């Protein structure tokens, strides 16, 4: 049943028609729990409150189905504005972005051009930029462009997904770049010939790549809400004498907020992924797909309305 719900919402997340409809009606029916607002100013207000609790942040301007260079230019401008505001407001924040929002599906050269624009500003103000990983068909292109950009800029990292068979070899291959990686389970629906179909295998691979990247000596962001994975990471760094400065935990805005604050109290670095923008629909559907409890929360919100 849970897998059926997950597949249903992942299917909905790919609907261009529903994405356009969602933009028209704004953050309703529970989406505001997971999205910090439609504007950068609303997001900055949220970031300040999180920072006051000792929580670090990475901010993401949401974008799906980018089809024109004008849309790409707008998304890049939003990223640059976020960098400037992080500096101006002295926020404890990084930024995250998707290469598709930078025009990857239009051309790799276009995405590279806008990434360089953004990273020039990021280097100037020492703001770190994480390139999010998307679905499998864009994985190789994302890693390829990341390698190129990492040779040119310091403040750039990327994301690897534990549910893909290829990820362990990607971790080993990227070792030479001394990368800062965000490691996640993965939130897209993929075929069994490229991704582990069973959750138990995904979890084991997640633990494997966490340990591998930490022992390689590189900064590791363990992005999970799974308490078993959190405990594994804690025990692993203690066992191997790994510095608390070499890793952090990451969670999504609106999910396990109390646990986030607890981890700060336990002296761990804790970063919250804070998305904003009008193009929130696909992101919201993937959050519903991840946890049935999120669906229940939204249904309660609709009933109240």
Instruction: For residue 185, give the nearest of 230, 155, 234, 150 by alpha carbon.
Output: 230
Q: The tokens 């990434």 sit on which residue?
A: 115
Q: The tokens 């849309």 sit on which residue?
A: 71
How many angstroms from the chain centroid is the CA of residue 108? Answer: 21
**The one catalytic residue among 132, 170, 203, 279:** 132
- CA dist., res. 72 & res. 269, Å (int): 33
Q: Are 220 and 213 in contact (CB under 8 A)?
A: yes
Give every CB contact of residue 27 below 8 A, 6+ residues apart in sequence. Answer: 35, 37, 38, 280
What is the enclosing helix (H) or strand (E) of 232?
helix 227-239
**The one catalytic residue among 6, 182, 271, 286:** 182
Catalytic residue status for 228: no
- Which two tokens mark 189? 């629906």
The DSSP annotation for 250-299 comes to: EEETTSSHHHHHHHHHTT--EEEEEEESS--HHHHHHHHHH-HHHHHHHH
Instruction: For residue 225, give the nearest of 202, 201, 257 by alpha carbon.
Output: 257
- CA dist., res. 253 & res. 260, Å (int): 10
Instruction: For residue 206, give the nearest of 228, 226, 229 by alpha carbon.
Output: 229
Catalytic residue status for 132: yes
- CA dist., res. 197 & res. 214, Å (int): 26
Q: The tokens 């950009």 sit on which residue?
A: 149
Q: Are 283 and 43 in contact (CB under 8 A)?
A: no
Q: Radius of gyration (Cα) for the chain, nearest Å?
A: 18
Residues designated catalytic: 132, 182
């Amino acid at each position: 049943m849970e897998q059926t719900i997950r597949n249903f919402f992942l299917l909905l997340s790919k609907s261009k028609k529903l994405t356009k409809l969602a933009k028209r009606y704004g953050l309703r029916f529970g989406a505001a729990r997971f999205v910090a607002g439609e504007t950068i100013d609303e997001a900055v207000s949220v970031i300040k409150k999180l920072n006051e609790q000792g929580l670090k942040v990475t901010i993401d301007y949401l974008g799906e189905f980018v089809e024109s260079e004008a849309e790409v230019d707008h998304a890049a401008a939003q990223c640059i504005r976020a960098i400037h505001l992080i500096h101006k407001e002295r926020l404890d924040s990084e930024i995250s972005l998707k290469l598709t929002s930078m025009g990857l599906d239009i051309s790799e050269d276009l995405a590279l051009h806008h990434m360089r624009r953004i990273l020039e500003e990021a280097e100037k103000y020492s703001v770190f930029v994480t390139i999010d990983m998307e679905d499998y068909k864009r994985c190789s292109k994302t890693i390829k462009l990341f390698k190129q950009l990492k040779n040119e800029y310091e403040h750039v990292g990327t994301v690897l997904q534990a549910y893909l068979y290829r990820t362990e070899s990607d971790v080993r291959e990227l070792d030479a770049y001394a990368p800062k990686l965000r490691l996640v389970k993965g939130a897209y629906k993929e075929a069994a010939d490229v991704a582990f179909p069973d959750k138990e295998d995904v979890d084991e691979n997640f633990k494997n790549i966490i340990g591998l990247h930490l022992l390689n000596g590189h900064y590791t962001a363990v992005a999970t809400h799974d308490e078993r994975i959190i405990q594994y990471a804690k025990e692993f760094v203690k066992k191997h004498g790994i510095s608390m400065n070499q890793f952090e935990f990451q969670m999504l805005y609106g999910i396990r907020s109390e646990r986030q604050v607890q981890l700060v109290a336990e002296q761990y670095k804790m970063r919250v992924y804070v998305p904003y923008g009008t193009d929130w629909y696909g992101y919201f559907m993937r959050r519903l797909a991840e946890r049935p409890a999120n669906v229940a929360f939204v249904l309660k919100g609709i009933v109240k309305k």
